[in-house]
Amino acid sequence: MKSFYITNEGKVRSHNEDSVTIVKNQSSEHLMIVADGMGGHRAGEVASSMVVTQIGKRFQALSSIGTKQDAINWLRENVKEVNSNIIKYSIENPEAMGLGTTCVMALLTKEFLLFVNIGDSSGFVFKEGKLKKITHDHTLVNFLVETGDLSAEEAVNHPKKNVLMKALGSSDKCELDMFEVEDIDTIDAIMLCSDGLTNMLTQEQIEKVLNEEDIGLEDKLIKLVRKCNVRGGLDNISIAILDKRGASK
């Protein structure tokens, strides 16, 4: 397998509140994480970094994640703990009150693939040249679409499209979504990203770059970031890709 991840502040924000990583444990099982922080300078980046650092280091230290149920339990327990740590930090540092972060993760073993998300960072699988979104955004606008109060077309440019219904650090109740992907041997790649990518480029535009044959994985992600910034770069942009077709890196 080959992997690459990138994060960029964009063209409007003065600093980057995103954090991203791809790590392996001792059994070469992979964990991908993208976290999009919120709360302003020295707050959002703290929350997102706590997710990536704390969960990433713990995964790296594992000999193996174990069974699928072991993995589910491990993900839930670690997300719950980091949520508590973010809340504790905001209490101990009043200037950071209101900090929080989205979180999307993908955990891949030889037997299974699990996605976890809270907020509006996204998880996809890439198969036969097409992206399929696995996660569901926890936004007000997405909730209105799901209840039939808003059309998908109306949602695209809705003024409240970035209002989150869930985020780490916002509540003691850590209600995450978890998804299992079947037939993992048929999947070519896994992609996670913050909404700084999906708000600037359509899924078709992203697919077009990922399908280019004359450039490598790293250059594809750099090109996606460049395209976001050419279109205004209104937010921080983070992307992580694990390509199952490539040689190990």
Taking residue 215's Cβ as centre, other Cβ atoms within 10 Å add up to 11
Q: What element of type H or E holds 53?
A: helix 44-60
Q: Count how many domains the chain has.
A: 1
- Residue 176 contacts residue 79 (beta carbons within 8 Å): yes
CA distances from 184 to 22, 70, 98, 220 (A): 18, 19, 38, 23
Q: Which stretch of DSSP H or E encloses residue 180?
A: strand 177-181
pLDDT at 84 over 80: yes
Q: How confident is the model over 127-140, as a mean pLDDT?
A: 94
The percentage of the chain sitting over the pLDDT mark of 70, rounded to a whole number, equals 94
pLDDT at 249 over 60: no
In a domain, 150, yes or no: no
Quick check: is 156 in a domain?
no
For residue 141, what pLDDT is reported? 77
Question: Using CA atoms, how far apart are residues 159 and 154, in angstroms rounded to an integer?
Answer: 10
- pTM value is 0.93
pLDDT of residue 215: 95
**CA 209, 214, 215: angle at the middle one, nearest 5?**
65
Backbone angles phi, psi at 96, to 5 degrees: -100, 10
The CATH code of the domain that includes 45 is 3.60.40.10
109: left (phi over 0), alpha (psi -120 to 50) or beta: beta
Q: Which two tokens stand for residue 123?
A: 């998880």
- Do the domain assignments include residue 146? no
Q: How confident is the model at residue 248 (pLDDT cuts 50, 70, 90)?
A: very low
Using DSSP's 3-state secondary structure scheme, residue 204 falls into: helix
Please report the pLDDT score of residue 105 as a whole number: 98
Lowest mean pLDDT among 168-172, 185-189, 208-212: 168-172
**For 23-49, what is each residue's pLDDT tens digit?**
999 999 999 999 999 986 678 999 999
Residue 134 in any domain: the answer is no
Is the pLDDT assigned to residue 132 strictly greater than 60?
Answer: yes
Residue 149 has pLDDT above 90, yes or no: no
Cα 42 to the center of its chain, rounded Å: 20
Structural domain includes residue 147: no
Return mean pLDDT, the chain: 92
Q: Which residue has the higher pLDDT, 150 or 100?
A: 100
What's the first-to-final CA gap in the chain, in angstroms?
7
Q: Which domain holds residue 34?
A: 2-129+167-243
User: pLDDT-based confidence at 147, cuts 50/70/90?
Assistant: confident
10 pLDDT tier (thresholds 50, 70, 90): very high
| Residue 149, amino acid | D
* Residue 123 pLDDT level (bands cut at 50, 70, 90): very high
Determine, yes or no, domain membership for 141: no
Q: Does residue 161 belong to any structural domain of this protein?
A: no
Decide if 16 is inside a domain: yes
pLDDT at 247: 46
